[in-house]
């Protein structure tokens, strides 16, 4: 199958391209950056270039949409850029897909659409805490409390049917991407799958940029001989999933999306299923690098959530996907894997 991979020269996209080749598919890359592989057709263009999109879509059977402006960013001044690339760019892509008659889409979604994850109160059962108050964060009170009684909550695994509650600009744009894809599917009879990535890490992550994930922040620090700086108290729970497993999930979704009912979008959490804290991840990387121990700073960012970990049971049951890289193995490999220079959003 000939597949257009937007952002196919980037961190995740380049691994998707390699997995597609390994499974006998024909990837075509649309990206501002030239792919490292010279045996893959490349359209060097911005996602918002409609002429380039129209040309890139000729002869393809499906689109794997990875291009995005990612991360929490620096401040709200980044909002126009996020909306322009992630939402306007996705709308242009979908419009050109409709024009070209390409009816299969796999979207790089994100767990950030949930906001805070799943919580249970001993007295009130399943609850949804609101945004954390700046005053509490400044006092080092990082755990969200029960909105009914103020009791400490027990975090759990969030499923795809949990209500969306984006807490920052990036999260808002990722939810909008899903709504745009669902509207495209209904209007055209297309079929879409959104893979809601959890914390993806691995080789080729960009170095030294505020738009990367926390794993890249820590690796960049260790490569420079500095200790990783862990915000809050380091007890934030996340699901760290290796990029090769995410690439395999994309190829599995491309194989399954054609069997979905016409006019629908289906979301799948894409995580390892093994929750770990941010502090544990920093310590594992520091130990594997032989670098300085992490520093827990107590700093915080208002757009961050406390705990978000996935249940990937739906992806496993319906698409037959299984993660292959465990936490210890993956962090050991990532400690010495190459990082990349950051590139402009594509």
Residues whose CB falls within 8 Å of the CB of residue 158, separated by 6 or more in sequence, listed in order: 111, 114, 117, 118, 269, 308, 309, 310, 311
What is the percent of the chain with per-residue pLDDT over 70, rounded to a whole number? 97
Does 212 score more than 70 pLDDT? no
Q: What is the pLDDT of residues 145-166, one digit of tens each?
A: 999 999 999 999 999 999 999 9
pLDDT of the residue at 302: 85
Round to whole Å and give the CA distance between 11 and 13: 6
R_g over Cα of the chain:
20
Does 131 reside within a domain?
A: no
Say if 342 falls within a structural domain. Answer: no
Contact 325, 331 (CB under 8 A): no
**Segment 331-341 mean pLDDT:** 88
Determine the structural domain holding residue 269 and report its residue range.
Answer: 2-118+156-336
Q: Taking 60 as the threshold, does the pLDDT of residue 68 lie above it?
A: yes
Structural domain contains residue 135: no
**Is residue 127 situated within a structural domain?**
no
CATH number of the domain to which 329 belongs: 3.40.50.720
| Residue 263 resides in a domain | yes
What is the percent of the chain where pLDDT is above 90? 84
C-alpha of 105 from chain center:
16
Closest CA to 250 of 270, 264, 226, 277: 270
Q: Report helix, strand or coil for 254.
A: helix
Look at residue 342 and tell me whether its pLDDT is greater than 70. no
Half-sphere exposure at residue 95, Cβ-oriented, CA atoms within 13 angstroms: 12
The whole-angstrom separation of Cα 96 and Cα 101 is: 8
Whether residue 346 lies inside any domain: the answer is no
Q: What is the domain count for the chain?
A: 1
Q: Is the pLDDT of residue 344 over 60?
A: no
Residue 149 domain-assigned (yes or no):
no
């Amino acid at each position: 199958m000939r597949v257009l991979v937007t952002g196919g020269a980037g961190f995740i996209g380049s691994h998707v391209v390699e997995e597609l080749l390994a499974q006998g598919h024909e990837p075509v890359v649309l990206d501002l950056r030239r792919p490292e592989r010279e045996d893959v057709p490349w359209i060097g263009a911005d996602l918002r270039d409609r002429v380039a999109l129209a040309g890139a879509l000729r002869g393809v059977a499906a689109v794997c949409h990875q291009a995005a402006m990612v991360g929490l960013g620096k401040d709200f001044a980044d909002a126009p850029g996020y909306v322009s690339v992630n939402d306007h760019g996705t709308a242009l892509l979908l419009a050109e897909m409709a024009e070209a008659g390409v009816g299969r889409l796999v979207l790089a979604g994100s767990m950030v659409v949930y906001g805070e994850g799943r919580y249970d109160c001993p007295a009130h059962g399943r609850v949804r805490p609101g945004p954390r108050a700046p005053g509490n964060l400044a006092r080092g009170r990082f755990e969200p409390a029960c909105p009914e009684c103020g009791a400490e909550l027990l975090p759990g695994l969030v499923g795809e049917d949990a209500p969306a509650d984006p807490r920052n600009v990036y999260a808002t744009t990722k939810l909008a991407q899903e709504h745009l894809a669902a509207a495209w599917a209904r209007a055209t009879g297309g079929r879409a799958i959104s893979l809601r990535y959890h914390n993806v890490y691995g080789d080729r992550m960009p170095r030294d940029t505020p738009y990367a994930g926390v794993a890249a922040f820590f690796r960049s620090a260790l490569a420079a001989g500095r200790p990783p700086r862990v915000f809050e108290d380091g007890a934030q729970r996340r699901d760290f999933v290796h990029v090769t497993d995410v690439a395999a999930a994309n190829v599995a979704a491309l194989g399954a999306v054609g069997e979905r009912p016409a006019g629908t979008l289906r979301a799948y959490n894409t995580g390892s299923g093994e929750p770990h804290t941010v502090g544990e991840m920093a310590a594992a990387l520091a130990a594997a690098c032989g670098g300085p121990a992490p520093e827990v700073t107590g700093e915080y960012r208002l757009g961050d959530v406390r705990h978000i970990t996935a249940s990937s049971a739906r992806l496993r049951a319906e698409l037959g996907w299984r993660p292959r890289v465990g936490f210890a193995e993956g962090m050991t490999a990532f400690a010495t894997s190459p990082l990349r220079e950051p590139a402009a959003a594509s």
